[in-house]
Structure 1
Amino acid sequence: MDIPGTTILLLVLAGFTAGWIDAVVGGGGLVQLPALLLVPGISPVQALATNKLAGIMGTSVSAITYYRRVGPDLRTALPMALAALGGAVGGAALASRIPAELFTPIILVVLVGVAAYTLLKPQLGATSELRWEGTATHRWTAAGLGLVIGAYDGLLGPGTGTFLVISLVSVLGYAFLPASALAKIVNFATNAGALIFFVPYGAVLWGLGLTVGAANLVGGYIGARMAVTKGSRFVRIVFVLVVGALIVRLGWQVITT
């Protein structure tokens, strides 16, 4: 695939930015996937698959950084991640069959609700007040959330980390920083689940994905360290900005299609 130098530079910049956003609060696909779709001759499925390869490189380093510095509870992370992986495999299998346009209006409505809920509750996610802590109910709820959001990630992708963070904050009672740390582990699993389908399908453009992924990895490392240093208030601010950007992008997509 012959890609102009200016397009490669744009993709590297998009990969770095997406990695930073994903590490802090999720939603890097808002930047990275549209950039990949600018590549001449790339199909939507190839762009989605290559986005997963680049994304997993960034989420791996940010997940490790969070694990070392925040110590997320693996009793929540592991069942949620395993369920999300299974959901992502199923979602990816449907990605080439179901038009994404069918889901955009629904996602837009959900995001508007998420934004309103977050803004109307200024103390949301400031501190952790866990629900059903240490019980099977806590773990099963985490797994159910992982399954649903994992299926969405395999099917479409952009905003997955954002949905993971808000579900951990609003449903399970985590503060924004530990929620973001948990979300990185789960997001790694959803990317892996999607790739389990996309790699044998032959949809991944390896050279392009590894190039964008290297930039995503650097952005993910820097973003995770910033989030850990600045805490939940910083993560909340970035979360609101990312949700707002997602609403604008999807709203424009609905209007123009």
Structure 2
Amino acid sequence: MADISLTTALLLCLAASLAGWVDAVVGGGGLLQLPALLIGLPPHLPPTYALGTNKAVSVTGTAIAALTYARRATLDVRLALRLGGLALASAAGGALFASAVDKRVLQPLIMVVLLAVAAFVTLRPRFGTLPAAPGTAPPSRRRVAAALLVAGVGIGFYDGLIGPGTGTFLVLALVPLLRLDLLTASATAKVVNVGTNVGGLLVFAPRGTALWGLVPFMALFNMAGGWAGAHMALRRGSGFVRVVLLAVVAGLVAKLAWDQWWA
């Protein structure tokens, strides 16, 4: 497996299982998995191998989590699939442009947005924790169109372009746009995230930038983490998702700050 030791492979599999769990609950598992790959892969391999391997592994965990949510959570499957299909195309486009973008310019902007989001969620303790009231009308066409534009096109393109925190951004966008609670938003985000991962993988895979000997083993652990995370979120509800959301946002800000000023 590209000169990777057994110990390193086991540590990468552990990181994949934790990433699958985080992704299933609220998104942001790439905070664990992608840095682990960048550290664990042989230094002679370019970073694109970490990106490609990350996408190949992540798609399995998000798919398992999406299926778990679809079977047990209240989920508008048709809308989720529309968002996912649009996100797939947008992520593929973002991946094609990834090499042409100066990420040092975008990262500070993302950090500002995330800090604002963290402050908002902290100061609004009921944000996304209340389920929709019985008989609540479905979202209007205008709200659905806004969700397709922001989550499907915008965040999908972002995932292909940069990537970290995509699932978290999806949850934060879907709660206000579609008036969902955090649990339902997380369930919908999993379907969309499958699309973004497939879109990126369609660009990376033909270029051979994925370690296919390592992918099946990490994928198994990622799926196990995704299954466990989805079941835990369903069992504990939106309040639990909110706590994990704040933790992931804090981790994402720290990771981007490290990349920007100290890496």
Q: TM-score, normalised by structure 2?
A: 0.93
Alignment of 1:122-161 (within 5 A): 122-129=125-132, 133-145=138-150, 146-161=152-167
| Bigger shift: residues 125-134 or 220-229 | 125-134
Q: Counterpart of 1:184?
A: 190
Q: Counterpart of 2:116?
A: 113
**% identical equivalent positions:** 47
Asked if structure 2 preserves the Cα contact closer than 8 Å seen for 1:87 and 1:148, the reply is yes
Shift of 1:113: 1.1
CA distance, structure 2, for counterparts of residue 77 and residue 51 of structure 1? 23
Q: Counterpart of 2:199?
A: 193
Q: Counterpart of 1:17?
A: 18
Q: Counterpart of 2:34?
A: 33
Shift of 1:248: 1.4
CA distance, structure 1, for counterparts of residue 49 and residue 130 of structure 2? 40
Shift of 1:70: 0.3
CA distance, structure 1, for counterparts of residue 251 and residue 106 of structure 2? 18
Which residue identity does 1:168 align to in structure 2? L
Asked if structure 2 preserves the Cα contact closer than 8 Å seen for 1:128 and 1:173, the reply is no
Write out per-residue CA displacement over residues 65-95 of structure 1, whole angstroms, 9 at most, x where no aligned residue. 0000003112431221122111101011112
Alignment of 1:89-100 (within 5 A): 89-100=92-103
Asked if structure 1 preserves the Cα contact closer than 8 Å seen for 2:31 and 2:164, the reply is yes
Which residue identity does 2:149 align to in structure 1? G
Shift of 1:134: 4.4
Q: Where do 4+ consecutive residues of structure 1 move more than 6 Å?
A: none
Q: Counterpart of 1:101?
A: 104
Work out whether 1:62 is the aligned partner of 2:81: no
Shift of 1:129: 4.8
Work out whether 1:209 is the aligned partner of 2:210: no
Asked if structure 1 preserves the Cα contact closer than 8 Å seen for 2:15 and 2:33, the reply is yes
Work out whether 1:3 is the aligned partner of 2:4: yes
Change (3 A) 1:151 1:177: same
Which residue identity does 1:117 align to in structure 2? F
Q: Counterpart of 1:242?
A: 248
Shift of 1:101: 2.8
| Bigger shift: residues 192-201 or 93-102 | 93-102
Shift of 1:151: 0.6
CA distance, structure 2, for counterparts of residue 81 and residue 132 of structure 1? 23
Q: Counterpart of 1:52?
A: 55
CA distance, structure 1, for counterparts of residue 221 and residue 84 of structure 2? 25
Asked if structure 1 preserves the Cα contact closer than 8 Å seen for 2:26 and 2:171, the reply is yes
CA distance, structure 1, for counterparts of residue 178 and residue 36 of structure 2? 34
Q: How many residues align?
A: 257
Work out whether 1:254 is the aligned partner of 2:260: yes
SS of the residue 1:2 aligns to = coil
CA distance, structure 2, for counterparts of residue 110 and residue 134 of structure 1? 25
The RMSD of aligned alpha carbons is: 1.7
Asked if structure 1 preserves the Cα contact closer than 8 Å seen for 2:144 and 2:177, the reply is no
From 158, 163, 169, the equivalent of 2:175 is 169
| Bigger shift: residues 50-59 or 164-173 | 164-173
Q: Counterpart of 1:219?
A: 225
CA distance, structure 2, for counterparts of residue 128 and residue 141 of structure 1? 21
Which residue identity does 1:111 align to in structure 2? L
| Bigger shift: residues 97-106 or 213-222 | 97-106
Shift of 1:100: 3.0
Change (3 A) 1:137 1:226: same
Asked if structure 1 preserves the Cα contact closer than 8 Å seen for 2:70 and 2:77, the reply is no
CA distance, structure 2, for counterparts of residue 159 and residue 209 of structure 1? 21
Q: Counterpart of 2:79?
A: 76
Asked if structure 2 preserves the Cα contact closer than 8 Å seen for 1:88 and 1:194, the reply is yes
CA distance, structure 2, for counterparts of residue 246 and residue 13 of structure 1? 20
Unaligned runs of 5+ in 2: none
Shift of 1:246: 0.9
